[in-house]
Structure 1
Amino acid sequence: MFVSLKRVLSWPQLLALGAAGIIGTSWAYMNTRFYSIYGPGGVILGYAIGTLMAFLVALAYAEMGSTIPKAGGEVAFVFPTLGPLGSFFVGWMFILSSVLAGAAFYVIGISLLLSWWLPSLYTIPIYSIAGVPVYLPALLLGITSAILILILNYRSVSLTGQAQLIMFIMLLLAGATILITALFKGSISNFANPSPFPQGENPLGLGLRFGLISIGYLSGFEGLPALAEEIKIKPRTFGLVIAGSVLVAGAFYMTMMFAGSLFVPWQQSYAIAHRGTIELMSRYSIWLGLIAWLASFLGLVTSWIPTVMTTSRMVFALAREGLFPSQFERIHPKYGTPTIALIFVTIISIIFGSLGEQGLIWFLDISGVGLGTCWLLSTLSMILTRRKYPNIPRYFKVPAGYLVGILGSGITLTVILVSIIPGTSLSLVWPYEYMILILWIVLGMIIYPFAKRRMNKLGIETVARNLLGEYYDVIYGKKEAKTETK
């Protein structure tokens, strides 16, 4: 039976979920390290290149997400061209990148951030992973925080959207404070003297190298199509928000990278401030340091919320398709949220988050493969959908769509290859990261035949109608879809 979610999210809330979900915390504590390698010029140029690359991919998501705006995003819109296997695989890899590198990362990362004020979090070691201890207070804090995020997502989509929007505005205000402080307290000579690029390095080469790194920090927009059945905006506006969230996040990154380079000579910044902007701001005032820390904290929380939110909708859609157990389809009668899927995502994130800081490194590295796979299948899906179903309504039609799709596919394939091919600067670490990736793929291969058996019992048309809803008839040419507007 087809079940649906509540339409409550406005476009500002959706933009907050997308842009803040991308921003995260790396800009606040990694900037001085980036300066020491690439120079502030290389970092800013790299973010500009990374933003452009991510934007090309986001355009494909915008077109497909607004053409087939159903819960699960990629799981739904790749189905007509790539079938059940492609739909399952993109969902499976989305869960890999979102649960392991997203939700599990935040279980660990919240303690790292709060240890600035509570160093006692890193006492009472209870076990070690690859020689790195896991501490009881830090683990308990991560678990408690994960449960609080679950409760927020569980109780109300509307409340979650409102909370996200408020925190996003606070994040922007904190960012503005950092920029103003840098302009008045810092100096442009710290950025430009003698050059914003390391001596003897090619600026474009630096930008391209950091661009490949920065694209990983520009992920998060791909989760927005999963919320398609919870928006109360026109499909075209939906597409604009998906694409626009990348531009907003990219602009924020570049602004913060510029601001951070004004405080001290960039060549010395990493030696002076290992912890990045927080430490740089603290040199002037404990209150300014607190604002920088708050911005970092808000970045973490506003990334965590949409990660859990969108991944649970992906699980929900896989259940609707018949590829996951039907229990994951359950929607709370009062709150209108996929409760079992939310609980499942939280439990898995806590389990993997319990691997501690070493796990954090593994998860971040592996996420590039999962993320790149989702991006690749989605950009290919746009190309194939245009060829196979040229007459379906496209409310956000990308100009030069085939060219954008080809460029986006090339970018995403590069992201995958630089991760899995040994010897590159972004290669996975042997043996742990390759083993985790292989085990995840093998687990999916084991699960899929059982899932396919259930799908066959339901019937492929029933499954497709459950997944695509009213868009089933649009895609297969039986009638026009109803435009989903407020």
Structure 2
Amino acid sequence: MSTKTVKKSITSSGLIALGAGGTIGSSWIYTNSQFFREYGAGGEIGGLLLAAVLAIFAALSFAELATTFVRAGGEVVYGYVAFGKPGAIFAAWALLGGYISLLGFYVTASSLLLARLFPIITKGIGYSFAGVRISLVELAIGVLITLIVYGVTYRGAHLTSKVQVVLLSGLIILGFILIVIGFSHGSMHNFWPAFHNQQKPLPAIIRFVIPAMTFLTGWESVATLAEEAQMPARKIGLIVIFSIVLAATYYISVLLASAWIWPWQKTAQMTMGTIDAFTAAGFPILGMIAFVISALGLMTGFLNLFSASSRLLFSLARGNLLPQGIAQLHARYQTPARAVSVVLVLVLALGWLGKGALVYFLDVGGFLIALAWAFNVLCLLKIRHQYPHLPAGFRNRHLLWPIIGGVASLSIAVINFLPITKYSLIWPIEYLLLAIWAVFGLIILWRSSFYSVDTQALLGKDMIHKLTQNKNP
């Protein structure tokens, strides 16, 4: 093992693939049956568009800070500069909690997809959680896929980004096929009217923004992995924004094509959304393509969040907010191998909960991600006030837009947390999971009180000099 700085090995295409590919997940392509039923096709597609705009506003803070502090861990570094130890730990707690929750979802979702092709894997010895049964074969498949993802990320960001480029290319090619066939062989009459009878369009769109936010996470990894990127700082900031634009365009185009090829009201009565829509429209091969897109999206999300989670832990450990041994790099791969292994343990600790916990993972993960977005905007405002002339590769001319993104993100988190709306966390299990994660965060904060932060390791010697030179008197 080595303690050298992480190796710069991610190209521009690799960073785009990690950001955009990591945002394009799995469940969106088959859950549109449920969402069409509840919000109408117009509600889901319009809600995604509005959520993407809000995500871009929030991402403007990441784009600026990622090009100001080009360090592994991203928000951990920004949180420390703005609010000291508590800020760094809170940032890691929120973002890592969101990522680990979503990774737990991927462990389960991987076997869920395969069960559609091979129902036999759901049979045999198993157990139940939250009233849903999972067989040991399903669990074993999920664990095996997790170990494969672990093996790739263990070998470093260079390999991970190259694999991600291949996967994203596959997603784009297959998605393009669905879009072309959907619009050329479908009809606007299948899509319009886009809402249920007596349904008010604007409330339906606004209500879908909250679940849409869970589809639009993963791009934060661009900031988290910035230290390993081989490119000018400004380009990193642009890739943050472009990742959301690409992912949102992909989502909306494919979902709109599925509503064009087959009446969305009929799709709403099915179980597998886009997959069933193209199959019912007489294109079973395209239905299979939609299934493959779901599988590829699962892998891109899995690889991206696994890598980003390990860098958050690496950053905390490098700054002595966690045991510094976790920050040691593999001598050959120059990857934070120990941090990657810790992520594996955390993910498998959740993965055994199975299909019954899918909603729990998405709900808790979405809440924590929204909290992390809001906090990052707050960090930008504090850093701008303390260090008004600190150079950045990407700098916001007006802070109004990131502020709007931060307020929207905080509002979503509050709506999720307060037990008074249909979007609130599920009582008591999701509040219990959140409480357990809060205990872990408090333990890390308590431990940090006995140790001094290794500021030079966390921020870098050059950044400490810049902060000293640019601090507000």
Aligned partners of 1:254, 1:443: CA distance in 2, in Å?
A: 37
Deviation at 1:217, TM superposition (A): 1.1
Which secondary structure state, in structure 2, belongs to the residue aligned with residue 221 of structure 1? coil
Which secondary structure state, in structure 2, belongs to the residue aligned with residue 128 of structure 1? strand
Q: Which residue of 2 aligns with 1:54?
A: 55
Q: Which residue of 1 aligns with 2:414?
A: 417
Q: For 2:159, give the aligned amino acid.
A: L
Which secondary structure state, in structure 2, belongs to the residue aligned with residue 127 of structure 1? strand
Q: Which residue of 1 aligns with 2:449?
A: 452
Kept in 1: contact 2:76–2:316 (CA 8 A):
yes
Q: Which residue of 2 aligns with 1:303?
A: 301
Q: Which residue of 2 aligns with 1:474?
A: 466
Alignment deviations for residues 405-457 of structure 1 (CA, whole Å, 9 cap, x no partner): 32122111111111111121210111111111112112221232113312x2x
Kept in 1: contact 2:18–2:304 (CA 8 A):
yes
Q: Which residue of 1 aligns with 2:344?
A: 346
Aligned partners of 2:108, 2:86: CA distance in 1, in Å?
A: 33
Alignment deviations for residues 366-418 of structure 1 (CA, whole Å, 9 cap, x no partner): 112211221121100111111110011011001212x1232122111111111
Matches within 5 A, 1:52-91: 52-91=53-92
Q: Which residue of 1 aligns with 2:235?
A: 237
Q: For 2:304, give the aligned amino acid.
A: P
Kept in 2: contact 1:368–1:415 (CA 8 A):
no
| RMSD, matched Cα | 1.6
Which secondary structure state, in structure 2, belongs to the residue aligned with residue 324 of structure 1? coil
Alignment deviations for residues 336-359 of structure 1 (CA, whole Å, 9 cap, x no partner): 111011111012101100011122
Aligned partners of 1:478, 1:40: CA distance in 2, in Å?
A: 50
Q: Which residue of 2 aligns with 1:133?
A: 133
- Number of residue pairs aligned between Structure 1 and Structure 2: 468
Kept in 1: contact 2:152–2:159 (CA 8 A):
yes
Percent of aligned pairs with the same amino acid: 31
Give yes or no for the alignment of 1:443 onto 2:440.
yes
Aligned partners of 2:383, 2:14: CA distance in 1, in Å?
A: 29
Q: For 1:434, give the aligned amino acid.
A: Y
Q: Which residue of 1 aligns with 2:172?
A: 172
Aligned partners of 2:279, 2:122: CA distance in 1, in Å?
A: 22
Change in Cα spacing, 1:158 to 1:447, as seen in structure 2 (3 Å) is closer
Q: Which residue of 1 aligns with 2:317?
A: 319
Aligned partners of 1:338, 1:257: CA distance in 2, in Å?
A: 38
Aligned partners of 1:313, 1:27: CA distance in 2, in Å?
A: 27
Q: Which residue of 1 aligns with 2:430?
A: 433
Deviation at 1:2, TM superposition (A): 6.7
Matches within 5 A, 1:330-369: 330-369=328-367
Pick which of 234-243 and 445-454 moved more.
445-454
**Structure 1, gaps ≥5 residues long:** 480-486
Give yes or no for the alignment of 1:33 onto 2:34.
yes
Aligned partners of 1:210, 1:369: CA distance in 2, in Å?
A: 15
Which secondary structure state, in structure 2, belongs to the residue aligned with residue 133 of structure 1? strand
Deviation at 1:268, TM superposition (A): 1.8
Deviation at 1:478, TM superposition (A): 7.8
Which secondary structure state, in structure 2, belongs to the residue aligned with residue 261 of structure 1? helix
Alignment deviations for residues 289-330 of structure 1 (CA, whole Å, 9 cap, x no partner): 221111111111001001000000000000011111112111
Kept in 2: contact 1:353–1:360 (CA 8 A):
no
Kept in 2: contact 1:53–1:215 (CA 8 A):
no
Q: For 1:465, give the aligned amino acid.
A: Q
Alignment deviations for residues 171-195 of structure 1 (CA, whole Å, 9 cap, x no partner): 0111011112212332211011xx1
Kept in 1: contact 2:48–2:248 (CA 8 A):
yes
TM-score, structure 2 normalization: 0.96
Aligned partners of 1:327, 1:235: CA distance in 2, in Å?
A: 29
Counterpart pick for 2:273 among 276, 285, 288: 276
Q: For 1:408, give the aligned amino acid.
A: G
Kept in 2: contact 1:125–1:136 (CA 8 A):
yes
Q: Which residue of 2 aligns with 1:483?
A: none
Q: Which residue of 2 aligns with 1:482?
A: none
Kept in 2: contact 1:73–1:227 (CA 8 A):
yes
Which secondary structure state, in structure 1, belongs to the residue aligned with residue 71 of structure 2? coil
Q: Which residue of 2 aligns with 1:383?
A: 381
**Structure 2, gaps ≥5 residues long:** none
Kept in 2: contact 1:63–1:394 (CA 8 A):
yes
Which secondary structure state, in structure 2, belongs to the residue aligned with residue 449 of structure 1? helix
Deviation at 1:265, TM superposition (A): 1.8
Which secondary structure state, in structure 2, belongs to the residue aligned with residue 344 of structure 1? helix
Kept in 2: contact 1:60–1:404 (CA 8 A):
no
Kept in 2: contact 1:31–1:260 (CA 8 A):
no
Give yes or no for the alignment of 1:464 onto 2:419.
no
Which secondary structure state, in structure 1, belongs to the residue aligned with residue 59 of structure 2? helix
TM-score, structure 1 normalization: 0.93
Aligned partners of 1:129, 1:42: CA distance in 2, in Å?
A: 32
Q: Which residue of 2 aligns with 1:291?
A: 289
Q: Which residue of 2 aligns with 1:20?
A: 21
Q: For 2:318, give the aligned amino acid.
A: R
Kept in 1: contact 2:33–2:268 (CA 8 A):
yes
Aligned partners of 1:397, 1:447: CA distance in 2, in Å?
A: 33
Aligned partners of 2:365, 2:137: CA distance in 1, in Å?
A: 27
Which secondary structure state, in structure 1, belongs to the residue aligned with residue 6 of structure 2? coil
Deviation at 1:47, TM superposition (A): 1.1
Aligned partners of 2:246, 2:203: CA distance in 1, in Å?
A: 25
Counterpart pick for 1:206 among 204, 209, 226: 204
Kept in 2: contact 1:9–1:230 (CA 8 A):
yes
Aligned partners of 1:393, 1:354: CA distance in 2, in Å?
A: 46
